[in-house]
């Protein structure tokens, strides 16, 4: 299915030369050239740590099954999170990506999930292709630095549901008594989840905001990546084997990932790659998929610990 839109995205983004990027955490800034990779040690995840991602993978997969969301009967993904309490849902997969939100008693967190790209919906595809960087909406992102820029299509997609998501999260925090919020998504849905996480933290500072994404493209420039690192309480972006989507849009176009990469080297072997997408370890995505020609589009769909994410799994 992805073959319908990826050639356009690849042709327009991935062949540019590397650009300058910034690596940061909340207290330290290190400037350097993007061609310089940083030597860091990866950490191999335990079986229990890998299993801990499964509920979030299923929540991301469920977003591709809008026909079953209202009754929470979307096949294995809904069954796996059977105690989930749906609060609201919407979207049309074209003008507005499908989304849903609710409360997970077993995880004790509010879940905000967005569907990824559906290549059968032209407007959804064009959201990915609209790659020029734009400024953040100061109303939606109060206090964000003015030099933080994001992919124009992702910005607009997140803005489409921002007010609804914010109101829903506030209502769920009041009704559930939790301060924990987790944004999840795959592909384009992961890009929206990244923006949602920052948006929610800036608007509800008392919330503990986390994000778990799968096969997420780069969302913004280095200043945006710094904002994610400084704002979001816990951010994990899972990349599967040789998936090429996480190297898009190219760093040569001024895009950068925040910290938090978890790379599935092979089924059952996951590693945590410290720093941004600049590690020189051969097990991190920037090394295993140095360009689009060495990537595998099928890895974008999974498996993520045995779970595939796409409309065909609904």
End-to-end C-alpha distance for the chain, whole angstroms? 14
Sketch out the chain's domains with CATH numbers. Answer: 2-313 (3.40.50.1820)
CB neighbourhood size of 26 (10 A): 8
Q: For position 117, what pLDDT does the model report?
A: 80
Position 126 scores a pLDDT of 45
- Taking CA 236 as the corner, what is the angle to CA 298 and CA 220, rounded to the nearest 5 degrees? 80
Backbone angles phi, psi at 33, to 5 degrees: -85, 145
Nearest to 185, CA basis, from 133, 236, 147:
236
Give the per-residue pLDDT at 1.
Answer: 36
Task: Return the beta strands (E) in 254-305 as ranges.
Answer: 261-266, 269-273
Element (H, E) at 126: helix 122-129
| Torsion angle of the four alpha carbons 222, 226, 227, 231, in this order, in degrees rounded to the nearest 10 | 160
Tokens of 284: 């991190």
pLDDT of amino acid 132? 85
Q: Give the residue ranges of the chain where pLDDT is below 50.
A: 1-37, 122-126
Contact 74, 81 (CB under 8 A): no
Query: Given this model, what pLDDT does residue 87 score?
Result: 98
Per-residue pLDDT of 234-249, as tens digits, reads: 999 999 999 999 999 9
User: How many other C-beta atoms can be found within 10 angstroms of the C-beta atom of residue 95?
Assistant: 12
């Amino acid at each position: 299915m992805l073959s319908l839109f990826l050639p356009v995205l690849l042709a327009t983004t991935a062949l540019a030369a590397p650009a300058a990027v910034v690596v940061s955490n909340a207290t330290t800034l290190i400037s350097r050239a993007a061609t310089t990779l940083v030597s860091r040690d990866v950490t191999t995840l335990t079986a229990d740590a890998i299993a801990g991602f499964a509920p979030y993978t299923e929540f991301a997969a469920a977003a591709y099954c809008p026909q079953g969301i209202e009754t929470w009967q979307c096949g294995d993904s809904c069954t796996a999170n059977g105690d989930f309490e749906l609060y609201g849902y919407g979207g049309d997969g074209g003008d507005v990506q499908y989304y849903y939100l609710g409360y997970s008693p077993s995880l004790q967190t509010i879940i905000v999930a967005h569907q990824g790209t559906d290549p059968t919906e032209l407007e959804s595809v064009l959201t990915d292709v609209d790659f020029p960087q734009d400024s953040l909406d100061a109303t939606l992102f109060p206090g964000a630095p003015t030099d933080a820029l994001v992919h124009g299509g992702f910005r607009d997609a997140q803005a489409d549901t921002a007010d609804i998501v914010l109101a829903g999260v506030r209502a769920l925090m009041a009704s559930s008594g939790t301060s924990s919020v987790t944004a999840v998504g795959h592909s384009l849905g992961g890009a929206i989840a990244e923006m949602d996480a920052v948006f929610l933290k800036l608007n509800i500072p008392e919330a503990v905001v986390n994000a778990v994404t799968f096969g997420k493209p780069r969302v913004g420039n280095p200043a945006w990546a710094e904002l994610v690192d400084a704002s979001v309480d816990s951010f994990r972006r899972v990349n599967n084997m040789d998936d090429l989507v996480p190297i898009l849009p190219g760093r040569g176009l001024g895009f950068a990932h925040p910290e938090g990469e978890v790379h599935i080297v092979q089924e059952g072997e996951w590693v945590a790659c410290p720093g941004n997408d600049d590690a020189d370890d051969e097990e991190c995505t920037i090394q295993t998929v140095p360009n689009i020609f060495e990537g595998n589009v099928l890895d974008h769909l999974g498996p993520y610990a045995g779970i595939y994410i796409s409309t065909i799994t609904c």
